[in-house]
Structure 1
Amino acid sequence: MSLSVLITVTHLLGVGHLARAAAIARALAAAGHDVTLVSGGMPAPLVRTGRLRFVQLPPVRSAGTAFSTLLDEDGRPASSALLAERRRELTAIFARMRPDVMVTELFPFGRRMLADEFMALLAAAEACRPRPVTLASVRDVLVAPAKPERIAEAHRRLFRHYDGVLVHGDPAILPLEASWPLDATLAPLLRYTGYVGEPAPEDDEPAGDGRDEIVVSGGGSAAALPLYRAAAEAARLVREKRWRLLLGAGVVQADFAAVAARATDNLVVERARPDFPLLVGRSAVSVSQAGYNTVVDLFGTGVKAVLVPFEEGNETEQRLRADRLASHGLVTVLPQGELTAGNLARAVRAALALPPPEATAIDCGGLATTVRLVEEFARRRGGLAAPALAANSAESAWRRLDDALATAVASGDTLAFWWRDDDATAPTPALDRLLTLARRHAAPVALAAIPAAATRALAERLADEPLASPLVHGLSHRNHAPADEKKAEFGAHRPTAALVADAERALATARERFGARLLPIFVPPWNRIAPALVAELPALGFCGLSTFRDRPATEAAPGLIQVNTHLDPVDWHGSRSLVAEDMLLDGLVRAIAARRRADDTLEPIGLLTHHLVHDEAIWSFCERLIERLCRHAGVRIHAAREVFAAPSAGSGVDGPA
């Protein structure tokens, strides 16, 4: 299967983002795929593009770490005309390609100032039929915004537009949650690839440059100037070794000349070279910042390293990475705040005295794994999944779930689940199958019934099903959102008074239909609800609210308990059949782990089904999962009446009236 792949990346300071994206693009091309790499940062001649189709957008950059201000290539503020031209070129490339797979590097986790062009690209993808597989590509460490609403915005974009997130790191060394707040709903999107690095080139020059030297590097920007200056002076203190300083293209000629003027007879100052990996592999000690690509070049070489992580402008990425590697005994760290010539000389001498590091345990197979994952995502979207591969991956995931459940039981934990099924209106064979499954395993199920469409026959059918409890699923499941926005019946698209009137009518209609069996719990269609309506629900007679993904608090409003769902097996944006089992189950395993680590404020894990749209693949998954959960003594599927019980100091549970 040959795929058309579009990768877009914009590097603003160094060239690390572009270098990693280019390495991935080359690997995909080597696997036989047609790859276009679009770069929106400054030209970087040392980054190899090989036989790729490479497109350079009108470039932008930042002034140091001031990423909120974009500059053009001449250092002037980027104009709206320039940004509009970039958007036009990017969407035109997409229209010509109609790619099978689209990869956005860093966005939506970062590059917020370029969100307009990324969102234009995503809109083009959403309008394309078939829609391309859309993946985010991120390094091992992210910089989380200080404002929670920006994190929430990134998550919303992921859930709406993306099929997965390729995390180019090793979770055993540095899991993404060390730098970015993850929850049980985001975790299923993540796919760790291992670190993206290419094999070290063959070294056939025993006496080549770098041999037994102190090699000092700082990436492609000018951010490493303090390191270069300190190293030039440290070379005077450690004279028994030759020092070689490699200054990137981002260091202007005047600064290069000033550093070179400090050279002694044991110091070589030159521009960065394309054979940098060879020089590092030959060195006695590598001295560098802790950027992703530089660190990956160190892995597997057995080279002793001193890392001086870049920490200006509240940057935390490199320090976190450096400290994690140091904790594994792989590097020596000199914090930037302690950088002096004397301290650097001492750190180099200390590194020289250490044995070579053991980096073999680090997963550096990121290129091969990335290619495999891209191909797997494409197979699933196109219905071309290799049966043996898919089956093996799924069975491994079921084993991981069994292990997680067994571990919880062995620890004496009780895992709480609940089950919500949406869109009930009338008795159907699909409803019979759902209720039979519930009875077989004594698993309570909450049926979110649509009041305006619910028939009397549905109420009669549920009268003999004590495990089934009806909830209020909107009023008529009618979309009131504009055509260019996500569907919602109770979103903020209508006056609050109209929302309140419809919610009040929905409760009255449901009570008339289901009587005392009804639980006054509001389930907004498409799981979207205007905040203004939430505040009004208790006064209307509702005691609970249920949507999707982890709730922000136990009460959505005073007197209104919120308990959400978290696992939906339907691939709504793709095949509308079963989401890949390994993705679903790995997300469930992470949700279990999160609840074992947390206190009692986390809600029960909610299973969400839609019986009317299930095909055999979805039914089979649901039946296997319910059976798996119910056979574990430490797992309990609670009735909705229990999970929506008002918190109290006593041990009894009083359900909704």
Structure 2
Amino acid sequence: MTVRVLIAVTHLLGAGHLTRAAALARAFAREGHETTLVTGGSPARLPDLGTVTLVQLPPVRTVGTDFRTLLDEDLEPVDAAYLERRRTLLLDTLTTVRPDILITELFPFGRRVLADEFCALIEAARGADPSPRIVCSIRDVLVPSSKASRIAEAHERVLRHYDAVLVHGDPELVPLEASWPLDEQVRPLIRYTGYVDENESPVPETRRHGIVVSGGSSAASLPLYRAALEAAQEITDRPWRILVGRSVADSNFRELRAGAPAHVAVELARPDFRTLLAGAELSVSQAGYNTTVDLLRCGVRSVLVPFEAGQETEQRLRAERLAALGLAEILPEADLSPPNLVRAIGRALSWPSSRRPAVSSDGARRTVALAESLVQSRPALHRAIDWSPLDQALDRAQDRDCPVGFWWRDDDAVADTPELDRLLGLARRYDAGIGLAVIPSGIEASLAVRLAEENKAFALVHGWSHADHAPAGEKKAEFGPHRTLDEMTAELERALHAARQLLGSRLLPVFVPPWNRIARDLVAILPGQGFRAISTFNDRMSAYPVSGLLQINTHVDPIDWHGTRSLADPALIIANLANAVERRAMGRADRGEPIGFLTHHLAHDDVIWSLCERLIAHLAARGIRFLCPDACFDLETRSQLRSNGI
């Protein structure tokens, strides 16, 4: 399937934002997607864009860190008419392209000075028929406003308009919350892609020799170049190469070159920078995004002088993370001087050779995959979910002195897969308990290892092999009325024993019949086989009154099993949850039974994952956490919870 992609970016100081957006555009185009890149910053030299259509808006830029004052290419302040020409061309491009997916780079987490322009684009996109998916693309580290109202405004725009926020970084190096105060409503929309590498070719293996000094694309590194030239007067036993950004004035470049000693080459930035860096003993640079990707790919020792003018914190945070990996020596910008730089270089050169850390750098490919998933997922997960039916039901239950508990069951686990990792990571992020209905005949050792690490995840017994024994034309069942009791009893015993042997204390003696169907006569046999509880689906209108057997069901499933096998209508899911709350508050269901949310991690697409996280986050914002299964299925604990109305 070919999708139409529109990426909107405006870089104001350096060209890093544009470079990253261009790398994404090339990745989309390589996969055969019709891609348009709209750039609103100063024209910059870009690698070959292939089939990408480039649209240049009337450019704006800033000087230094004054991001509130927009200037044109002649460094004159822009007026309303100039901004209107930009907006008109941007909206005309939207109309022409008719994108399936719209990506805004940085906005609404930044570029507030261009908010009118971006908001006009988003409103026009939402008014299109059909409307595109809308995605925000941000780097690993952001610079939040000191005003809480502006952060809240950014969050409100994300929740109202966006389908996802793509973070082009790796949380193992820098999680987004290290720089931006995420709230639990926005967190479900966050997707880490890994770092976006504009140069995806293999890193050459060469002999390391010499020092490479670089300063990105802006003129902000001029003090670093000058300090490096003087430091080179002291360190003469190695060759130096100083690569000067193309935004540095020609007069300054000539001055630097004229002051260079014989063992120092001063050149303009080169397209083979990665090769030069791979062959260097040491890198001296700032800590911009693209420089960080280069350092991570090459694994070269480095001295970082992070840009910190105007109270900028982005590069300092990134530098500190690299230093923690043993990849960098930090020299604060305020302490930059030739003697201090000489000492920092000496310390860095004394380290053992660096190894390339295991940080994801396939962000462009992953971005394309995530975008494709968003476009393909049907039915659409609406950007604005109406939670009011659930909230009102919970409020009424509270007014009636009926606290409502929730628990989470996920079916069909057998091994530690990427999908299970995502599931358990989601549960851990919201401090949620989760019961994994595992298939005993298929359990792999990796599942036991993983469960041992999760203190709020417990296994339940999901049949024996999840095999359908129902005759053709009847509803599927493994333990339905289609086999003898003796045959099924033997499998029950075998299932519990096998699961216990592999999972130990992480297994609860709870039987979850596949397809939530079980022969009534078999239920009475469960306690004698060592089971203390049973869990199926729907309210217990026909409960199994068996002594010593607790029943706690699930009640809401987000998957449209009989239609798209993607997400069911979110409004219906919310209504089902609200009805489950109302039934308990009105006494039409057991007040003591928590409401069960049923998922199947191996069957989820991104739109199902998104709804699950948004639901969990919404409940967490109300102070409601999914109960831990060991508490749910402990008879003594259940008695206490019942007395408290939960």
Give TM-score, length-normalised by structure 2.
0.66
Number of the residue aligned with 1:306: 303
Number of the residue aligned with 1:232: 229
Q: Which amino acid aligns with 2:34?
A: D
Separation in structure 2 between the aligned mates of residue 165 and residue 152 of structure 1, nearest angstrom: 16
1:364-395 per-residue CA deviation (whole Å, 9 max, x = no partner) reads: 121221111111111115679xxx9xxx8765
* 1:359 and 2:335 are equivalent in the alignment: no
Q: Which amino acid aligns with 1:306?
A: V
Separation in structure 2 between the aligned mates of residue 591 and residue 383 of structure 1, nearest angstrom: 19
Any conservation in 1 of the 2:538–2:555 contact (CA below 8 Å)? no
Shift of 1:31: 1.2
Unaligned runs of 5+ in 2: 382-411, 435-453, 459-536, 544-550, 557-580
With 400-409 and 313-322 compared, the bigger mean Cα shift is at 400-409
Change beyond 3 A, Cα 1:401–1:297: closer
Q: Structure 2 matches for 1:565-576, cutoff 5 A?
A: none
Other structure's SS at 1:67 match: coil
Any conservation in 2 of the 1:246–1:273 contact (CA below 8 Å)? yes
Shift of 1:351: 1.8
Any conservation in 1 of the 2:380–2:607 contact (CA below 8 Å)? no
Change beyond 3 A, Cα 1:140–1:460: closer
Q: Which amino acid aligns with 1:405?
A: G
Change beyond 3 A, Cα 1:459–1:604: closer
Separation in structure 2 between the aligned mates of residue 459 and residue 294 of structure 1, nearest angstrom: 56
* 1:175 and 2:175 are equivalent in the alignment: yes
Other structure's SS at 1:55 match: strand
Change beyond 3 A, Cα 1:442–1:22: closer
Match of 2:608 among 581, 603, 609: 581
* 1:257 and 2:380 are equivalent in the alignment: no
Number of the residue aligned with 1:190: 190
Q: Which amino acid aligns with 1:192?
A: Y
Shift of 1:260: 2.0
Any conservation in 2 of the 1:40–1:56 contact (CA below 8 Å)? yes
Q: Structure 2 matches for 1:62-77, cutoff 5 A?
A: 62-77=62-77
Change beyond 3 A, Cα 1:437–1:64: farther
Q: Structure 2 matches for 1:452-491, cutoff 5 A?
A: 464-465=587-588
Number of the residue aligned with 2:521: none
Number of the residue aligned with 2:122: 122
Separation in structure 2 between the aligned mates of residue 353 and residue 460 of structure 1, nearest angstrom: 70
Number of the residue aligned with 2:283: 286
Q: Structure 2 matches for 1:605-644, cutoff 5 A?
A: 605=624, 630-631=632-633
Any conservation in 1 of the 2:555–2:598 contact (CA below 8 Å)? no
Any conservation in 2 of the 1:8–1:103 contact (CA below 8 Å)? yes
Change beyond 3 A, Cα 1:396–1:319: closer
Shift of 1:248: 1.1
Unaligned runs of 5+ in 1: 412-432, 446-457, 470-566, 570-576, 596-601, 608-624, 643-651
Q: Structure 2 matches for 1:35-46, cutoff 5 A?
A: 35-46=35-46
Q: Which amino acid aligns with 1:50?
A: G
Number of the residue aligned with 1:10: 10
Q: Structure 2 matches for 1:190-589, cutoff 5 A?
A: 190-199=190-199, 201=201, 212-381=209-378, 397-400=422-425, 405=433, 407=454, 409=456, 441=552, 464-465=587-588, 580-586=607-613
With 246-255 and 223-232 compared, the bigger mean Cα shift is at 246-255
Number of the residue aligned with 2:94: 94
Shift of 1:237: 0.8
Change beyond 3 A, Cα 1:45–1:636: farther
Separation in structure 1 between the aligned mates of residue 632 and residue 226 of structure 2, nearest angstrom: 65
Any conservation in 2 of the 1:104–1:135 contact (CA below 8 Å)? yes
Separation in structure 2 between the aligned mates of residue 118 and residue 585 of structure 1, nearest angstrom: 29
Aligned length: 475
Q: CA RMSD in A?
A: 4.1
Any conservation in 2 of the 1:100–1:133 contact (CA below 8 Å)? yes
Number of the residue aligned with 2:487: none
Number of the residue aligned with 2:109: 109
Change beyond 3 A, Cα 1:588–1:318: farther
1:607-644 per-residue CA deviation (whole Å, 9 max, x = no partner) reads: 9xxxxxxxxxxxxxxxxx999995589999999xx9xx
Separation in structure 2 between the aligned mates of residue 65 and residue 212 of structure 1, nearest angstrom: 36
With 51-60 and 157-166 compared, the bigger mean Cα shift is at 51-60
Q: Which amino acid aligns with 2:183?
A: D
Shift of 1:200: 5.7
Separation in structure 2 between the aligned mates of residue 314 and residue 137 of structure 1, nearest angstrom: 23
Separation in structure 1 between the aligned mates of residue 380 and residue 611 of structure 2, nearest angstrom: 17
Separation in structure 1 between the aligned mates of residue 373 and residue 32 of structure 2, nearest angstrom: 15
Shift of 1:603: 4.7
Q: Which amino acid aligns with 1:270?
A: E
Q: Which amino acid aligns with 1:179?
A: S
1:145-165 per-residue CA deviation (whole Å, 9 max, x = no partner) reads: 010000000001001110001
Separation in structure 2 between the aligned mates of residue 253 and residue 90 of structure 1, nearest angstrom: 33
Other structure's SS at 1:368 match: helix
Q: Which amino acid aligns with 1:59?
A: P
Change beyond 3 A, Cα 1:306–1:402: closer
Separation in structure 2 between the aligned mates of residue 246 and residue 132 of structure 1, nearest angstrom: 42
Shift of 1:589: 7.3
Separation in structure 1 between the aligned mates of residue 237 and residue 47 of structure 2, nearest angstrom: 33
Change beyond 3 A, Cα 1:92–1:151: same
Change beyond 3 A, Cα 1:46–1:236: farther
Any conservation in 2 of the 1:59–1:72 contact (CA below 8 Å)? yes
Q: % of aligned pairs identical? A: 47
Q: Which amino acid aligns with 1:465?
A: R
Separation in structure 2 between the aligned mates of residue 12 and residue 196 of structure 1, nearest angstrom: 20
1:226-251 per-residue CA deviation (whole Å, 9 max, x = no partner) reads: 10110111110111112111111211
Separation in structure 1 between the aligned mates of residue 53 and residue 308 of structure 2, nearest angstrom: 35
Any conservation in 1 of the 2:133–2:162 contact (CA below 8 Å)? yes
* 1:604 and 2:631 are equivalent in the alignment: no
Change beyond 3 A, Cα 1:468–1:285: same
Separation in structure 2 between the aligned mates of residue 588 and residue 4 of structure 1, nearest angstrom: 30
Change beyond 3 A, Cα 1:351–1:437: farther
Other structure's SS at 2:346 match: helix
Separation in structure 2 between the aligned mates of residue 114 and residue 408 of structure 1, nearest angstrom: 46
Any conservation in 1 of the 2:538–2:554 contact (CA below 8 Å)? no
Separation in structure 1 between the aligned mates of residue 584 and residue 644 of structure 2, nearest angstrom: 27
Separation in structure 2 between the aligned mates of residue 4 and residue 637 of structure 1, nearest angstrom: 57
1:503-561 per-residue CA deviation (whole Å, 9 max, x = no partner) reads: xxxxxxxxxxxxxxxxxxxxxxxxxxxxxxxxxxxxxxxxxxxxxxxxxxxxxxxxxxx
Any conservation in 2 of the 1:102–1:134 contact (CA below 8 Å)? yes
